[in-house]
Structure 1
């Protein structure tokens, strides 16, 4: 006879399961099994079975359940197993060998396991222990606080065993197994710091540095949002350990270095190959809306010195350009600025491999040849004697992060002293990243001991500039809100280059730091159809080119929206493009349909609107009532009820944030999707989209 608490409450004899009756009877048995060979007072049973005031006949009810349990156990042959359910005055005692209870066997197996001292023995012991679980503990009992507390305690023991099994596999060098075991538990318990720390280490040792760092930033955000606390010592320790190991080029066993290096300071959610976003909460991803540069932009080579493989759609495979420099230390076709010693400058204080903190290359990256070429011109210009700076700006969901990250991977070889990446969270759900936090991460990645990282942003900025003064380093600052947020993070060396992405134009950086703007526009019909073809397969798009063109129009040419549309079609392989186009024509449903799990155009726009002043938000809402989205300052003033000067200032700010376009002098346009979103925020649009949290920057 065996008793089960680790899942549904059950009693089995051989292959047969005894019928235990209703939830309260199962709960009586569970409480007795939680305290085997111990007298349990009747009052304790009553208090556990009823959350509120128990009925007057509660004692009789409990006595009846005990009587039925005693008869059920007797029918199952309990006496032969040494099992007895006895009454002791106003208390009950379930006398039995404790090894018959699965929770007891679980505890014994876990106690025997020694993950660090004897990992080879610990793995089978812990696997056997965890194999006893058949679902959430105490399933089938009443939902009272005592049972909830008992179930929670058992679940804590299970998670401790999962962590121990992960450590045992890690000690054996079986990091893939450790990561697989810890992953599902981490997904279900995203605030358990010890579990996340173990998963981060396992991922790092398999070469997935980017994913490891993403888990840290995702958990940090959740801790802040849900509990209002910062990461504890274990989680922060794992993060700093990974950064130090990455900077020193060590800490990995049995795993090849991934092409993209480690993901930088700002990730929360596993990179989204089909998303077009870098979420303000720290999620990385890139909307692959462009092809690597050809023609005017020099074509780089991969880490073997060969040109990247050309894809069937005429694109360089992103992974082919993300590796180490060519045999001469540079990318073919890049200027001599990419040559030279690595970290040989005075005061570098660096040992080990340079940091490689870029996110993984964006998937299905198409087009954008002109923008990639412009970045090449700006960032490899060695004639000014200054550190070049480019600002990639555009509306939410247009693929700014994708463009910057793609270029960074293509020309990583021009920066042999490393590539740094940070999500500044300027347009995320939480607070923007303070410069001191990003600088601390950068300094750790560059090999600075934690105790030598200054606490003030000013001192950390000075140390950062000193360390990289003579290095050839690329810095990618993603999702910036303002110029002031960016300035402390800029390297000062003439051989360093910086790419900033933002929904704002960041005119301040242009004025004070000679930043060169690189604007991204929405996709035309041909490019948008090509993106759909890359996502869905060219045959599916070719069978209805007119519908493909209409989808591009309905998505306003935004890669993020097109990717969400492609996700809808991927999930419905029998749908023709025309069917989705017909659904999207319904303006009440369009925003909801243009979302895919944690990515959506409405969520992306929400992050932009959240950064507006109340006056500007009201102006945008008024502009959304325009019949065709075309208007001038006079019409905007009439719609908003503002005076001309106030209206013009507001239009300028909305234009700077790419929520409104100024096509010509005093000719403004607002996109259809922005109009729909603004109307929904006013409560005028029927169904409001709530799907997705990715900010689509």
Structure 2
């Protein structure tokens, strides 16, 4: 049995939550839990439950609530946990092991953490402690002053833990993480000087001196306007520390900024996997304020010029001429509406929500150049919109995130990122959820975030109307899911990734498509070389070419193959190629833990209608993967019109490719997946099930 104060008042046994009844009954329980194993006088309960003069029958009401609570706890098996709600004269005592109360566990974890002495141990302790919070403390209690004071005290303890976690990350030199943790708390508590001071130091150590100083001046103005006071010692100390370091040429102390390239926050580890899913850690992460290198870029394979990043693609300088300086020394290729400054109405540090840069990102020169052309078009006076589309596993997310990091400096008012979960486990992300996250990141107080998607969309467009902001919407399922999330200002730019072409956005919002294709032999071999080392690939170039063919040139599949070889350093490439020739094992071998081409295809097929799923299954029986509408109709047993409509939808979803008029191809891996699904469950008659069968 567990008792929750750090959020809605609740009592849970196993996975079930006990029904506690109305607010006053919950408030009685909360007051007893705030003073566990201590007698609480009946008069104190009455004074806390009624803000004004209590009714004549107040004693009877409280006694009734205690009686019902006692019965509820008994029904939940309280005795087995050593829990007893006892009456002592005109007082009550809730006897229980205090570790059953989340607020007590929170306090113990925070007390154990030593951010300065043992920061590596403090980080997981504080994260676990803060993870106990499920919302504002004491939610569901009455709104009397005693409960407001108790909730405020708990919130102060939470903020103290947040500050401690920021200090722990800072002590470890993890300043990006410290800034990300402290930022949202600082936005919601703009007068808490210790919090702001910690954020300033974290921002300074990541090279964002101007943002750090802006936080000081903003807080100083708020203190003066709202409280009529000057900054205290902690805030002044952080400010003076930054000024002294700047004067001494200290600048960023955490790590050197790669010359002219994206900031190396991700290095070669982790990042955004190819195939349209965001990096580990969900939608949020601190991103750099980098710009692409000026002039000609060096090949990224050897790690020069910019930080290596993950994704998929061939061998690419990525920027081309778009990042070259103009004759007057100014940066060319600034997105549409580019203007100096940070945009009117901006408060606090700009949001930096991009995932870490993708590691070992190679190639995609033409696609990155196309994105630059689309998103730097200032001739229309409209907010530019690009759709990066392609089959599962082709590296859409990596391409979009790579471009976003290269051009983050062109969007000084921030970069927003969201995984729309259009092709993932579970339901797609509703627009209201994403808009709520965006509004909070832009500094909107939680209580002012509208509950309806329509109102939230309007507020979002109003807030960013005059800002230079980049929005990356990853893994979209449909145009309707995207439209409420589009910014309205001409100085904003939006990149959407999807397995669907999103023709609706092209029709209604003038989106410009940027298609992503599979890799050729040279590009695929370069990706294998970046993952495994060039020597291992060079010793057997024929096997490398065969691996590219067996992986259908999909970066996600090639990365999975590289993972297999990395785990088996004695294997030559030819040995893996021989194993992959066995079509029964190929999909299993092209998986790496929670990622792989089969999982990616399953998410695409799960979104098909029953008719289209059956059509895809029929197409998989084609001998060589090449067919026309007549052959497809014969295989599926559909009439020509029904077959043509289905082929069009499969083509839009990049499960089938139309090479020429009435010439369709289905990739080998898609064929293998569809055959496996058909063989496991028989012919599908639902189409939309989670396993695509």
Deviation at 1:350, TM superposition (A): 2.1
Aligned-partner Cα distance in 2 for 1:83–1:52: 33
Q: Which moved more, 1:6-15 or 1:381-390?
A: 6-15
Which piece of structure 1 moves more, 378-387 or 152-161? 152-161
Is the contact between residue 657 and residue 666 of structure 2 (CA under 8 Å) also seen in structure 1? yes
Change (3 A) 1:228 1:366: farther
Question: Structure 1 stretch 131-140 or stretch 478-487: which is displaced more?
Answer: 131-140
Q: SS of the counterpart of 2:294?
A: coil
Residue number in structure 2 paired with 1:110: 110
Give the CA deviation at 1:170: 8.6
Checking the alignment, whether the CA contact within 8 Å between 1:274 and 1:287 is kept in structure 2 is: no
Aligned partners of 2:141, 2:629: CA distance in 1, in Å?
A: 66
1:327-360 CA-partner distances (Å, limit 9, x unpaired): 999745546844422xxxx995322222121112
Q: Secondary structure at the match of 2:302?
A: coil
Q: 1:354–1:446: 8 Å Cα contact kept in structure 2?
A: yes
Cα distance in structure 2, aligned partners of 1:554 and 1:173? 43
CA distance, structure 2, for counterparts of residue 556 and residue 463 of structure 1: 45
Cα deviation for residue 413 of structure 1 reads: 2.0
**Cα deviations by residue, 1:436-455 (Å, 9 ceiling, x for unpaired):** 11111111111111111111
**Distance 1:498-1:46 versus aligned 2 partners, 3 A rule:** closer
Deviation at 1:225, TM superposition (A): 46
How far does residue 479 in structure 1 lie from its aligned partner after superposition?
0.4
Contact 1:329–1:339 (Cα < 8 Å) also in 2: no
Aligned length: 693
Separation of aligned partners in 1, 2:237 and 2:676: 44
Q: Separation in 1 of the partners of 2:209 and 2:690?
A: 21
What SS does the aligned partner of 1:430 have?
coil
Which secondary structure state, in structure 2, belongs to the residue aligned with residue 684 of structure 1? helix
Q: Which moved more, 1:627-636 or 1:174-183?
A: 174-183
Please give the alpha-carbon distance, in whole angstroms, between the structure 2 residues aligned to 1:146 and 1:291: 52
Indicate which of 508, 514, 525 corresponds to 2:510: 514
Q: Would the alpha carbon gap of residues 269 and 55 (structure 1) be closer, same or farther in structure 2, given more than 3 Å must change?
A: farther
String of CA shifts for 1:447-502, please: whole Å, max 9, x gaps.
Answer: 11111111111111111111111111111111000000000011111111111100
Q: Deviations over 1:646-696 (max 9, x none)?
A: 111111100000000011111111000000001111126999999999999
Partner SS state of residue 198, structure 1: helix
Q: Structure 1 residues 135 and 489, CA, compared in 2 at 3 Å: closer, same or farther?
A: closer
1:186-210 CA-to-partner distances (Å, cap 9, x unmatched) read: 9999999999999999999999999
Larger mean CA deviation between 288-297 and 437-446 belongs to 288-297
Distance in 1, Cα, partners of 2:419 & 2:225: 17
Residue equivalent to 2:559:
563
Kept in 2: contact 1:213–1:265 (CA 8 A): no
Deviations 1:511-533 (A, max 9, x none): 00111111011011111111111
Once the two structures are overlaid, the 10-residue window that deviates more, 424-433 or 234-243, is 234-243
Please list the CA deviations of residues 235-275 of structure 1 after superposition, one character each: whole Å capped at 9, or x if unmatched.
Answer: 99999999999999999998999999999999999635688
Is the 8 Å Cα contact of residues 203 and 209 (structure 2) preserved in structure 1? yes
Structure 1: unaligned runs, 5 residues or longer: none
What per-residue deviation string (whole Å, max 9, x for no partner) do you get for residues 623-661 of structure 1?
Answer: 111111111111111111111111111111000000000
Separation in structure 1 between the aligned mates of residue 159 and residue 408 of structure 2, nearest angstrom? 41
Greater mean deviation of Cα atoms: 597-606 or 203-212: 203-212
CA distance in 2, matches of 1:203, 1:121: 23
Distance 1:511 1:332, change over 3 A: closer
Q: 1:510 & 1:172 partners in 2: Cα distance?
A: 47
CA distance in 1, matches of 2:508, 2:65: 80
Distance of 1:651 and 1:12 partners within structure 2: 51
Name the stretch that deviates more: 167-176 or 508-517.
167-176
Partners of 1:16 and 1:484 lie apart in 2 by 37
* Residues 299/180 of structure 1: CA separation in 2 closer, same or farther (3 Å cut): closer
The Cα of 1:96 is off from its aligned counterpart by 24
Q: Aligned partners of 1:82 and 1:307: how far apart in 2?
A: 57
Q: In 2 relative to 1, CA 434–266 (structure 1 residues): closer, same or farther, beyond 3 Å?
A: farther
Distance change (3 Å), C-alpha of 1:550 and 1:353: same
Q: CA deviation at 1:611?
A: 0.4
CA distance in 2, matches of 1:230, 1:268: 45
- The SS at the match of 2:301 is coil
Which deviates further from its counterpart, 503-512 or 82-91?
A: 82-91
SS for the counterpart of 1:364 is coil
